[in-house]
Amino acid sequence: MKTTAAVLYQMKQPEPYAQTRPLVIEEVELPPPAAGEVLVELRGAGLCHSDLSVMNGSRPRPVPIILGHEASGIVRETGAGVRAFAPGDHVVFSFIPTCGNCVYCKTGKPALCVNGNRTNLAGTLLNGARRFSNPRGQCLHHHCGISAFAHHTIAAAESLVKIDPALPLEIAALFGCAIVTGVGAVLNTARVAPSESVAVFGLGGVGLSAVMGATAAGASPIIAVDLLEHKLTLARELGATHTVNSSQCDAVQAVKELSGGGVWHAFESAGDERVMAQAFHATRPGGNTVIIGLPDPSKQFSVPGGLISAEERVVRGSYMGSCVPRRDIPRFIELYQAGRLPVNRLITRTLRLEEINEGFDSLARGEAVRQMIRFD
């Protein structure tokens, strides 16, 4: 079949993208789904910093590639051997396909799936295949086994989670990345308990999701830190008890004053090594620093080694919110439906696929939290 997609042929194109247009809108070809694969019609796809990081070259991936990893859609066709999905099912994508056979999948840590992460880096599906081709017959790489910036895509069944069809698909897409990553970091990785203090550094879609997760966990106080006032305002509306504009003060000192000496849990979601160090220094003795953001692989951050042992501080990573997608995505959707995770507030605006380059300009400038492509 033929469908329309936004294809990235060259990384590191200069901004503004509205002028250089690194994402090329063109008709591409998809074959029928092979064994273990599913054809999905996309209905919602979010613009995320992880996509932007591929475009600007800070997280290089093989090109040409169809980006997009936070998405929802409707199953239209299944390949041989697929039993868990049928045409008409509503699904959310998981940006790490989980093989179910490696040591991490077998021990409840599918975010670290050996085969899923290997094929994601290679730009293929879980089975090693590439299904898209352009009008010139050139194979196109998949992004995170999803390639959501297309009207239709083929994914491994292991990349999909069936969801309640009552949930609007535009909102459902958020559960594939921002929500699992941010809320999962709070509830799964850190296991924040009621009345424990929390600080969140960086208020993009993931950081604001962490604020919502901390609110759902009953944390107090919840301190949100960012450079931009409109994001701090939204953080307060989503449950932050205090906000700190780090462009106007020493953010570490401010967090310590607001929390009586430092927080129990600090979450870094900016993907910046300097902010990682700030998050660490904002914790109290015995505190927990959770790194969610993905900085350029060449960047490093350092902290005084003595504080880790003498004050029993913990630094740990959180990838995909330490989630088991088929367990946690439905669980987080139930929290949204119960009014405890107002995830719809993250959507700044909706776009047509043809407006995607302009959308990434807005994301790069920090103007938008989540922009959602609608395909209807």
Q: What separation in angstroms does the CA of 224 have from each of 204, 209, 242, 276? A: 11, 11, 6, 14
Residue with tokens 């203090």: 197
Nearest Cα to 149, choosing from 47, 75, 235?
Answer: 47
What was the pLDDT predicted at 234?
98
Which DSSP letter does residue 150 get? B
**Is-same-fold flag (2-176+342-374; 182-319)?**
no
**In percent, how much of the chain has pLDDT > 90?**
97
Chain segment 144-163, per-residue pLDDT in tens: 999 999 999 999 999 999 99
Chain segment 192-231, per-residue pLDDT in tens: 999 999 999 999 999 999 999 999 999 999 999 999 999 9
What was the pLDDT predicted at 130?
98
Q: Report the alpha-carbon distance of residue 156 to residue 81 in Å, rounded.
A: 11
Q: Report the alpha-carbon distance of residue 219 to residue 207 in Å, rounded.
A: 15
Q: What is the mean pLDDT of residues 349-361?
A: 98
pLDDT at 297 over 90: no
Quote the pTM value. 0.97
What was the pLDDT predicted at 146?
98
pLDDT class of 117 with cuts at 50, 70, 90: very high
Q: Mean pLDDT lowest for which of 129-133, 304-308, 367-371?
A: 304-308
Fold entry, domain 182-319:
Rossmann fold (3.40.50)
User: What 3 state SS string does 222-238 have?
Assistant: EEEEECCHHHHHHHHHC
Exposure pattern of 86-100 as b/e (b: 16+ CB <10 Å)?
eeebbbbbbbbbbbe
pLDDT class of 357 with cuts at 50, 70, 90: very high
What was the pLDDT predicted at 208?
98
Q: For residue 301, give both structure tokens.
A: 């951050």
The β-bridge relationship of strands 283-291 and 263-268 is parallel
Count of C-beta atoms within a 10 Å radius of residue 130: 17
Q: Report the alpha-carbon distance of residue 297 to residue 244 in Å, rounded.
A: 28
Contact 351, 372 (CB under 8 A): yes
What was the pLDDT predicted at 376?
75
Dihedral of CA atoms 171, 295, 361, 10 in degrees, nearest 10, equals -110
Q: Report the alpha-carbon distance of residue 316 to residue 122 in Å, rounded.
A: 26
Instruction: Return mean pLDDT, the chain.
Output: 97
Domain boundaries, the chain: 2-176+342-374, 182-319
Compute CA 217 distance to the chain's CA centroid, rounded to the nearest angstrom: 20
Chain segment 244-275, per-residue pLDDT in tens: 999 999 999 999 999 999 999 999 999 999 99
Q: What is the mean pLDDT of residues 337-358?
A: 97
Chain segment 5-16, per-residue pLDDT in tens: 999 999 999 999
Q: How many residues does the chain have?
A: 376
CATH number of the domain at 2-176+342-374, out of 2.60.120.460, 3.90.180.10, 1.20.1260.10, 3.40.30.10?
Answer: 3.90.180.10
Contact 32, 68 (CB under 8 A): no
Chain segment 20-64, per-residue pLDDT in tens: 999 999 999 999 999 999 999 999 999 999 999 999 999 999 999
- Assign 306 to helix, strand or coil: helix
